[in-house]
Amino acid sequence: MTVVVRENAVLNTADGMPWINAAGDEFTSAVKPYVDKVAREIANWVDRTRTAGRGPSLFNRAAYVAPDNPYSQMATARSAVENDDVIGGVCDVTEGLIFQGLKWESEDPLAADIFNQLGTDLDLDSFARQWHREDFIYSQSIVGLWWGRKTYTPKAKTEKGKRSKKKVTMACPVAWTFLDPTKVVPLRPGPFGEDRLAWHATPYEMAAAAAGVNGEYMDPLLAEFTLGKINVNDRVERELVIRWGFDPDRLLLLNPMTVFRMTRTKMTYERFPIIRLKSTFPLLDLKQQLIEADRVSLVGAANFILLVRQGTKEEPATQEEIDNLKDNFKVVAKLPVVVGDHRLQIDIITPAQEHVLQSEKYDVLDRRILQRTMGALTMGSSGQRNESTVTIARGVARLLENRRHMMKRTLEREIARRIVDHPDNADLFEHEPNLVFTPKNVQLDDDAEVARSIMALRTMNEISRESTLEHFGFDQATEALRREFEKDAGYDDTFKTVVPFSATGGQGDNPDGTPTPSNVDGAKGGRPAGGGNSPQSPQGQAGGRNSRGQKSPK
């Protein structure tokens, strides 16, 4: 049976046309299902090939070749986070390193209490993690605020130990969301670098905005986030917007009171921050070409060539033997047994596989990509003598802390200050709250000397207990609640925790949790009330000298 497909013809089983073969006869009902199946398989194969072949060939060879268009670079950066194992892993790992806990603090306990309740309602933890992903991919994030009114009851207790029944109603954001940066057009900045952002609206959004101007209908989101259509009359500005792929006649000016943008470091005259992942595109392109090369080798190995030779130089094969061998192999090739004499030689031809999937080739590129995305001056296992915790771990930690610090400043300016200074919240708060991250420092290296210094400062009463606990990643309020629970549950009596050889008596020396007085602490091995070394201490037993230089008794 032969199927003839004419040029520019479309096969359609639903058009009522009969299926015919080359002889002009209609296909029988028994043959037609097989033809349908073949047509479906071919159509599916074409769809899969078209989807995968974004590059100039069947393989995706131009996946990380982005032009100067910043929006194309954004799309490439997003694709890198989704598809590359190293960059995607760095994004997830840094998210876990930066954010463990965050809260609002203030000199005014009421402000801290209310802002922390507001942070719970707005899901501040999820917002911070979403911000990190936006910032990691696009080097910027655009936030829209929906303002309203909220009523909260402070959780602080009164002087008599009862919960306060006072209610505080304030104007504040009741919801926030991230706007897609690939649909926001930064117009020429103001004289002092003020953002002038425009939303590239769909035809429906433009119609809704026009209806709102005429007083017919206005979309609530457009009314909250936009100020109406903006006319781009400058020729250079219009050409630039068109070059980015937008229609300059479909731009809605975003309201700076409800929409703000957080960016990586950029100059005031720049519209976009430099996309930090852009520097990894050449490395990702090399890695993609390496993957494609290895894929070609593996596909070639799967589609091998079978070479069958009959005869030798001394005993060449006759034409009859060659013809018989060719005919026999049409049947014998599918069987595991081949019969022949010493002149029969069978070879399997495949591409060389010695250098396929070599880890060294991938490690060279992955190390450079990891070094750029993590911000390290150099990466480990590269054999360089200048590698240390200062050049690797501490450099990465300071970079992560810097990103987190800039987010903290932006939220304090765009959220906390706006709430405190809002006319409806006059005289409600005495101080602006500050955003605090836990742990306070991103600690990637284990430096015992730093830990000893922190403990020494605490012992000298130079820093607070809360700062000490935050350095090690603990929350003071949580630890206080746990200590109260342990005390009430009687765990202190069970464990009888003591601090041996304490100079002043440590917390928990006695079963009730009170410290042992210094005048009797020497009996437990601490320093006696008058100074010197206790007989039970290691120094006293070793015959050391006391603080006055006198030899202690053994």
Q: Which two tokens stand for residue 524?
A: 């437990």
Question: What pLDDT score was predicted for residue 534?
Answer: 47
Question: What pLDDT score was predicted for residue 5?
Answer: 37
Q: Which two tokens stand for residue 226?
A: 């936009």
Q: How far is CA 74 from CA 227, 262, 365, 412, in A?
A: 26, 16, 22, 27
Question: What pLDDT score was predicted for residue 13?
Answer: 38
Maximum C-alpha span of the chain: 121
Those residues whose C-beta lies under 8 Å from the C-beta of residue 473, and which sit 6 or more positions away, are 100, 438, 439, 443
Q: How far is CA 485 from CA 479, 482, 495, 516, in A?
A: 10, 5, 14, 22
Q: Which amino acid is at 234?
A: D
Q: How many other CB atoms are there within 10 angstroms of residue 118's CB atom? A: 21
HSE-CB of 461 using CA atoms within 13 angstroms: 0
Q: Can you name the residues that pair with 436 across neighbouring β-strands?
A: 103
Question: What pLDDT score was predicted for residue 376?
Answer: 75
**Cis check: omega of the bond before 439, within 30 degrees of 0:** yes
What's the first-to-final CA gap in the chain, in angstroms? 110
Question: What pLDDT score was predicted for residue 50?
Answer: 56
Q: How far is CA 217 from CA 210, 227, 253, in A?
A: 9, 15, 18
Burial of 112 per CB tally in 10 Å (0-12, 13-18, 19+): buried
pLDDT digit of tens for each residue in the chain (554 aa)? Answer: 333 333 333 334 334 444 444 444 444 555 566 667 777 777 776 666 555 444 445 456 677 887 789 999 999 999 999 999 999 999 999 998 888 888 898 888 888 899 999 999 999 999 999 999 999 999 999 999 999 999 998 886 656 666 667 889 999 999 999 999 999 999 999 888 899 999 999 999 999 998 888 878 778 889 999 999 999 999 999 999 999 999 999 999 999 999 999 999 999 999 999 999 999 999 999 999 899 888 888 887 777 777 888 888 888 888 888 888 887 777 766 666 667 777 888 777 777 788 888 889 999 999 999 989 988 766 555 555 556 655 678 888 888 999 999 999 999 999 999 999 999 999 899 888 999 887 777 877 767 777 888 889 989 989 999 888 887 778 788 788 778 888 887 887 887 766 555 554 444 444 444 544 444 444 444 444 444 544 544 444 445 455 445 554 54
Burial of 143 per CB tally in 10 Å (0-12, 13-18, 19+): buried
Q: Which two tokens stand for residue 374?
A: 């993590």
What distance in Å separates the CA atoms of residue 543 and residue 160, rounded to the nearest whole number?
56
What distance in Å separates the CA atoms of residue 367 and residue 481, rounded to the nearest whole number?
45
Confirm whether pTM is higher than 0.85. no
Q: How would you write 215-228 as a 3-class SS string? A: CCCCCHHHHHHEEE
Helix/strand/coil for 209: helix
What distance in Å separates the CA atoms of residue 493 and residue 516, rounded to the nearest whole number?
15
Question: What pLDDT score was predicted for residue 273?
Answer: 95
**Cis check: omega of the bond before 18, within 30 degrees of 0:** no
Q: Which two tokens stand for residue 231?
A: 């006319």
Burial of 535 per CB tally in 10 Å (0-12, 13-18, 19+): middle
37, 45 contact by CB (below 8 A): no
What distance in Å separates the CA atoms of residue 539 and residue 550, rounded to the nearest whole number?
12
What digits encode the pLDDT tens for the residues 83-107? 999 999 999 999 988 888 888 988 8
Question: What pLDDT score was predicted for residue 488?
Answer: 81
467, 461 contact by CB (below 8 A): no
Question: What pLDDT score was predicted for residue 248?
Answer: 94
